[in-house]
Structure 1
Amino acid sequence: MTFRQLGLSIYPDHSNFAEDAKYLDLGHKYGFTRIFMSMLEATDPEATKAKFKKIIDYGNKLGYKTVLDVAPHIFDQLGISYSDLKVFADLGAAGVRLDTGFDGATEAMLSYNPYGLIIELNMSNDVAYLDNILSYQANEPFIYGCHNFYPQTGTGLTYDFFVRASERFKKHGIHTAAFVSSKHGDQGPWNVNDGLPTLEQHRHLPIAVQAKQLFATGLIDDVLIGNAYASEDELKALSELNRYQLQFDIDFVPAVNAVEKDVVLKPQHFRRGDVNALVVRSTMPRVTYQDELNPPHDNTIEFQRGDVLVGNDDFGHYKNELQIALEPHRDPRKNKVGRINENEISLLDYVHPWTKFRFETHHE
């Protein structure tokens, strides 16, 4: 099984060790285990190596695995060849990300490096790049994929392109990663920093919503924060989200009762397999809570997409069935008990037949 991980980004060319170490401590507290580290310049090779080794060693002691993002000119500046990755192993890195591709045979050969370094490929292209590498009999367990991030507003990937590019990797079972953007981070690789997401539509969303969508696609294993430094609140929010199933943030209506709260928060919900266009139906609660009274309230309004509904005492056999409205409709036999957070309503697109989901509330 591939476990899903959270990661941070560090930019030693633009930061200092004390601040980076403090950030890694905070990430460790919240269960982050990956570091994306950009290696952009090596004007003084020995000083560069020392600087990077110090922070990578610090991360290693905390249980992180660091992947170094390397551009072709770094190999020249460090005076090393693509056929020998020893310098990166000596730095303590777990892998290298090749921002620029080669001819396929080169990447395949690199995946057999004697140091067991991961070779991470740039996923943000919709061409047969990976297929070419695999056709040269690459060492697949050591081939990973990681999308780009985009510092300039308007230049992030479109969703459709992201899906196509990601599917090229996922169909081969390759471990994948993509970036979300912090609202507080102001450090990136360049001197333009409008946030650092992979997907353009994520640029101004709360960080947990960005991550929920990436995980919900089923195409991304690891979610990395592109810009540094994210706030503690953001790290905490990411640490609390469910990486393996959709968990909607719900705001309850004032009149919600204890039975309805139990119906929403306690069961493992799943959408019925015989789906309809009007509502998502989670039908097991009507069995579990069939003997619990549920008088009508908030039942005469027009329900809107994202409203969470529970059948009331007038709904007979369907009393205490949980539904999520997909289309506007009225039905006085249902109580509106809450509403999915506005930023997460688009995630309803990922609730397919038999999809498992849960609810959480931060407003108790």
Structure 2
Amino acid sequence: MPGPYAGLFVLDAAQGIAGPLCGMLLAQGGARVVKLEPPKGDWSRGLTAREGTHSVMHTAFNRGKDSVVLDLGTPEGQAQAARLAARADVLLEAFRPGVAARIGLGPEAAKADAVCVSVSGFGQAGPLRERPCTDGVAQAFAGIAACNLGADGIPHRLPTLPVDIFTGMSAFAACQSALAEQARDRREGAPPRRRHLDVSLIAGAAQLLAVPLAESGLLGRLPGELNVPAGTYQGSCGGWFMLALVREEEWQAFCRAVGRPGWLEDPRFARFADRAAHKPALMAELRPHLASRPAAEWVALLQGARLLADRVNTPLDFLAEPQVEATGIAPRMRQPGLGELPVPAMPGLGAWTAPAPALGEHTAGVMAEFALAEGRPGGA
């Protein structure tokens, strides 16, 4: 069924994850999205399980697009790209700041009322604007890794690319807002206005750290741990489970549920702040106690007390959960070149199982279409 963006033409000149995810969500909303790639393809085609020009990573963030290959290192390739950019309602790019303008894909190359989205590591301004960035670097720079100390005391990055994915979703949200504003201008007869959105990985990382950043800035120091003893614990079976506490009453219910009501009388453990201050002493008692029974028993007991707890799943465990099947969170799709694989449904938007394109699959057709539309000979 056509979505709210049916009729929009999006030129997606981004690679990797954040920019392409924004483009894919526009495609899910009905837009026609042309993915512009270099002759070697988006670098995500070379990562994760792959076959030919397809990979799992590329499929995850480029479903439902057309793929056009142009060599932007040549004048001919730049001219062809500029021809596409001039027709785009949304122009999406993820080059280092300044590069897009030099090769004809900057905001000035777009229509007078286009929405232009620039995704970069550090933003379009500032002393670090040209520095390269990845999800892991953004986690380190913004403080996510420092907030994720392992039991070994070492800062760890989260391996699931949260900054890239959240930044892509943020780019989509900003683009939606700009498109709505554009539609309002048209209704009111306002003159066309081009919108340029600056979306960076470090801004996305900052949003993921909203609470610790705000509290650190308020206090002028790093805040204590939020809700000790929330965290992961290992049972006697070797399996792990997660405990979460958000209210003081839950600590009281936890102590009674695990058979340690005496902890409620210990002033060191009276409140969240006290437990954070005396965490080593608490862990010295808590971990051995929780290691005395299998993880499944603790989870059943804690859930029976209406506490927030569950086993630590692997992705395979998660896919096998009846709740996942019942709610359609990870529908399976058939991707040419790879086979059948599960892909997550976008919350609130649902499943999107259109396949991702092969490298350059639509080059000749798209370039002929847009060349003919301008009265020029067809062909790429």
TM over 0.5: no
- Which structure: greater helix fraction? 2
Rg bigger for which structure? 2
- Which structure: greater strand fraction? 1
Q: What TM-score comes out, normalization by structure 1 length?
A: 0.28
